[in-house]
Amino acid sequence: MSTTPAPTPPFDAKAFLRTLTEEPGVYRMIGAEDKVLYVGKAKNLKRRVSSYFQRTLLSPRIAMMVAQVQRVDVTATRSEAEALILENNLIKSLAPRYNILFRDDKSYPYIELTGDEFPQLAYHRGAFAKGARYFGPFPSAWAVRESIQLLQKTFQLRTCENSVFQNRSRPCLLHQIKRCTGPCVGLVSAEDYAADVRLASRFLDGHGTEVIDALTDKMQRAAAALDFEAAGGCRDQIRALQAVLHRQFVDSGKDEDVDILAAVEEDGLLCVNIAMVRGGRHLGDRPQFPSGAAACGAEDGLLAFVEQHYGEHPMPARLLVNTAVEAVRETLAEIAEKPAAVVAPRFAVDRGWMEMAEKNARLAIQARARDTGRAEQRLEALRDALGLADPPLRIECFDISHTMGEATVASCVVCEAGQMKRGEYRRYNIAGITPGDDFAAMRQALERRYGKVAAGEGLRPDLILIDGGKGQVAAALGILAELGLEDIAMIGVAKGEGRKVGLETLVFPDEREGLVLGGGHAALHLVTEIRDEAHRFAITGHRARRAKTRVGSKLEDIPGVGPTRRRNLLATFGGLDGVRAATVEDLCRVDGINRTLAEQIHQALR
Residue 550, domain member (yes or no) = no
Residue 175, domain member (yes or no) = yes
Residue 412, domain member (yes or no) = yes
Torsion of CA 447, 453, 456, 457, to 10 degrees: 100
Other CB atoms within 10 Å distance of the CB of residue 253: 10
- Give the pLDDT confidence of 412-468 residue by residue, as tens digits: 999 988 888 888 899 998 888 888 888 888 889 999 999 888 887 778 999 999 998
Residue 424 DSSP code: G
Other CB atoms within 10 Å distance of the CB of residue 500: 10
CATH, residue 577: 1.10.150.20
Residue 423 DSSP code: G
Q: What are phi and psi of 168, to 5 degrees?
A: -80, 140
Q: What is the DSSP string of 13-53?
A: HHHHHHT---S-EEEEEE-GGG-EEEEEEESSHHHHHHHHH
Cα 174-141-188 angle, rounded to 5 deg: 25
Asked if residue 516 and residue 402 are part of one domain, the reply reads yes
Asked if residue 276 and residue 209 are part of one domain, the reply reads no
- Angle of helix 208-224 relative to helix 228-246, nearest 10 degrees, comes to 160
The dihedral built from the CA positions of residue 67, 71, 77 and 82, taken in this order, carries a sign that is negative
3-state secondary structure of 541: helix
Last residue of a domain, one of 94, 122, 148: 94
Pairing of strands 394-403, 419-420: unpaired
Asked if residue 116 and residue 146 are part of one domain, the reply reads yes
Asked if residue 401 and residue 363 are part of one domain, the reply reads no
Residue 159, domain member (yes or no) = yes
Other CB atoms within 10 Å distance of the CB of residue 514: 14
pLDDT value at 103 more than 70: no
Residues of the chain by 3-state class (helix, strand, coil), percent to 5: 50, 20, 35
Rounded distance, CA 331 to CA 342, Å? Answer: 11
Residues 118-126, mean pLDDT to the nearest whole number: 88
Asked if residue 470 and residue 425 are part of one domain, the reply reads yes
Residue 538, domain member (yes or no) = no
The dihedral built from the CA positions of residue 260, 265, 266 and 271, taken in this order, carries a sign that is positive
pLDDT value of position 18: 84
* 59-73, 291-305, 370-384, 422-436, range with the lowest pLDDT: 291-305
pLDDT value of position 4: 52
Last residue of a domain, one of 64, 94, 124: 94
Asked if residue 138 and residue 29 are part of one domain, the reply reads no
Rounded distance, CA 58 to CA 297, Å? Answer: 12
First-to-last CA distance in the chain? 94
pLDDT value at 243 more than 70: no
Asked if residue 478 and residue 429 are part of one domain, the reply reads yes
Ramachandran region, residue 387 (left: φ > 0; alpha: ψ -120 to 50; beta: rest) = left
Spatial neighbors of 276 by CB under 8 A, at least 6 apart, are 137, 138, 139, 143, 258, 259, 260, 282, 283, 284, 285, 286, 316
Rounded distance, CA 287 to CA 312, Å? Answer: 17
- Give the pLDDT confidence of 390-410 residue by residue, as tens digits: 999 999 999 998 877 778 899
Asked if residue 312 and residue 269 are part of one domain, the reply reads yes
Rounded distance, CA 513 to CA 499, Å? Answer: 20
pLDDT value of position 248: 42
Q: What are phi and psi of 273, to 5 degrees?
A: -105, 125
Nearest CA-CA partner of 193 in 220, 165, 223, 158: 158
pLDDT winner (highest mean) among 114-123, 305-314, 363-372, 489-498: 114-123
pLDDT value of position 252: 45
Asked if residue 125 and residue 225 are part of one domain, the reply reads yes
pLDDT value of position 584: 83
Confidence of residue 489 (pLDDT cuts 50, 70, 90): very high
Confidence of residue 251 (pLDDT cuts 50, 70, 90): very low
Tell me the HSE value of 503 on the side-chain side, using a 13 A CA sphere.
6
Q: Is 553:576 a contact under the CB 8 Å cutoff? A: no
Ramachandran region, residue 418 (left: φ > 0; alpha: ψ -120 to 50; beta: rest) = left
pLDDT value of position 465: 93
Q: Where are the alpha helices (DSSP H) in 509-562?
A: 522-556
3-state secondary structure of 195: helix
Range of the domain at 406: 394-521
Rounded distance, CA 389 to CA 93, Å? Answer: 29
Residue 544, domain member (yes or no) = no
Rounded distance, CA 304 to CA 335, Å? Answer: 12
Rounded distance, CA 80 to CA 173, Å? Answer: 47
Cα 477-478-484 angle, rounded to 5 deg: 85
Residue 469, domain member (yes or no) = yes
Last residue of a domain, one of 467, 494, 521: 521
Q: Is 128:314 a contact under the CB 8 Å cutoff? A: no
Residue 103, domain member (yes or no) = no
Number of domains present in the structure of the chain = 5
pLDDT value of position 395: 94
Asked if residue 224 and residue 204 are part of one domain, the reply reads yes
Q: In what order do the strands lie in the sheet with 269-278?
A: 281-288, 269-278, 258-266, 318-321, 341-343
Spatial neighbors of 403 by CB under 8 A, at least 6 apart, are 542, 546
Helix (H) or strand (E) holding 342: strand 341-343
CATH, residue 481: 3.30.420.340
Asked if residue 508 and residue 418 are part of one domain, the reply reads yes
- Give the pLDDT confidence of 173-196 residue by residue, as tens digits: 888 888 898 999 889 898 989 988
- Give the pLDDT confidence of 197-215 residue by residue, as tens digits: 988 888 777 676 777 777 7
The residues with which 491 forms a beta bridge, in sequence order, are 465
Q: Is 196:173 a contact under the CB 8 Å cutoff? A: no
Residue percentage of the chain with pLDDT more than 70 = 90
Confidence of residue 255 (pLDDT cuts 50, 70, 90): low
Asked if residue 431 and residue 309 are part of one domain, the reply reads no
Rounded distance, CA 325 to CA 348, Å? Answer: 19
Rounded distance, CA 589 to CA 579, Å? Answer: 12
pLDDT value of position 106: 56
* 40-49, 73-82, 259-268, 540-549, range with the lowest pLDDT: 540-549
Is the overall model pTM greater than 0.85, yes or no?
no
- Give the pLDDT confidence of 575-589 residue by residue, as tens digits: 677 777 788 888 888
Spatial neighbors of 548 by CB under 8 A, at least 6 apart, are none
- Give the pLDDT confidence of 520-561 residue by residue, as tens digits: 788 888 998 899 999 999 998 888 777 665 555 567 778 888
